[in-house]
Amino acid sequence: MPRPATAPLDGLRVLDLSRALAGPYATMTLADLGADVIKIEGPGGGDDTRSWGPPFVTGSSGVQESTYFLSANRGKKSVAADLKSEAGIELILELARTADVLVENFRPGVMDRLGLSSQRLLEHNPRLVILSISGFGAAGPDAGRVGYDQILQAEGGLMSVTGDQASGPVKVGVPVADIATALLGIIGVLAALRDRDRSGYGQVVSTSLLASQIALHTFQGTRWLVAGEVPGPSGNHHPTIAPYGLFPTASAPIVIAVGSEAIWRRFAPLVEIDFDDERFADNPARMNHRDDLYGAIVKAFATRPAEEWTELLADAGVPAGVVKTMDQVYDSAQVAAEDLILDVEHSTLGAIRLPGRPLRFSRSAAPAALPPPTLGQHNGVVRERLWEE
């Protein structure tokens, strides 16, 4: 008989020494997969993001909680500990003794100065997998620099290809450098855990916000590295595919994605364009005559509201979508059908709703939906567990 389904990472213990976003987002994702995550916070104000607001929400105790902190810390236990004290370091070493994964995003060298070097941690627990996240990496002239998300969006090249000529460089509206780093870090952790299954030993997995930006470059990176072309801002239109981007209609703008010749032949008649017109006969031709092409599309789209166009495009098998605000996204039937809102009971705020878990498994169970913790909420619980072990 098959064993009762459990969460994929049920039984995995994670010690989270990180703060702000890249590290906490990584450990939250591990918690979403069933890991037991203990978050270590400074006893004063805790994680930096507890003060990042407004907006704040005030709970029954009168303590404010930052919605920013709530976004990246669900499913964890919080323990307040001073890492500059001997007692704090001893607590970390004791927790690391039975942990499977430790996540930290201090600047290179800080863990060593605290007395928590990778060597010491691995001597303490040879099976430990350590995820070390930095801004610019552990080597090179920028290793010691502090790396916040937008700094790396700028220095990692992402802002240079976002926006348009009128706007100049523009950051992405979410902390994409942090999030990409977190997700790549998780991939590294899971690979190291798989390696531990074979070897019996843990190791250090290192990544950085700079590395994640390089990983996100994809075709923009090879435009320079292979073709010798420096990409510029592409605005709301794809730099290598046409038509693919944002167009006005009689009511509101919509996005279309004509990503193949088959789609082009379905799309062109809708906007009264001859798909065999030599100016538009294939993608290179359409890119070379974008002004003519986009002028014709704008003229056609002006004749109907967005709702009619999206229906016509859908019927023709042309990918398209409207630009939704956050309230429209979370109120949509599709988000509800995919169960992408998580309802949890916070210890001081009561019932709150959070962005939901992005993964589903056909056999594994989902872990219990736990809220983000208040600062030091689990001091007693975690220490009791240590004594029992």
Residue 276 a catalytic site member? no
Least Cα distance to 24 among 38, 9, 11 occurs for: 38
If DSSP codes are grouped into helix, strand and coil, which group holds residue 102?
A: strand
At residue 247, φ and ψ (nearest 5 deg) are -135, 140
CA distance 143 to 135: 8
Catalytic residue among 149, 164, 178, 331: 178
- Which two tokens mark 260? 């193949």
CA distance 166 to 198: 55
CA distance 291 to 38: 55
Q: Is the dihedral of CA 63, 66, 69, 75 positive or negative?
A: positive
Q: How many residues does the chain have?
A: 389
CA distance 300 to 323: 19
At residue 130, φ and ψ (nearest 5 deg) are -110, 120
Residues 6+ away with beta carbon under 8 Å from 38: 13, 14, 15, 16, 76, 77, 79, 95, 378, 382
Distance between start and end Cα atoms, the chain: 32
Instruction: Specify whether the CB–CB gap between 162 and 235 falls below 8 A.
Output: no
Q: How many CB atoms lie within 10 A of CB 242?
A: 22
Give the HSE-up count for residue 129: Cα atoms under 13 Å, Cβ half-sphere: 22
Amino acid at 92: I
Please confirm whether the linkage preceding 355 is cis (ω < 30° from 0): no
Instruction: Specify whether the CB–CB gap between 323 and 253 falls below 8 A.
Output: yes
> What pairs with residue 134 in β-bridges?
208
CA distance 351 to 45: 24
Whole-number Cα distances in Å, 80 to 22, 87, 118, 145: 20, 12, 22, 27
Residues involved in catalysis: 178
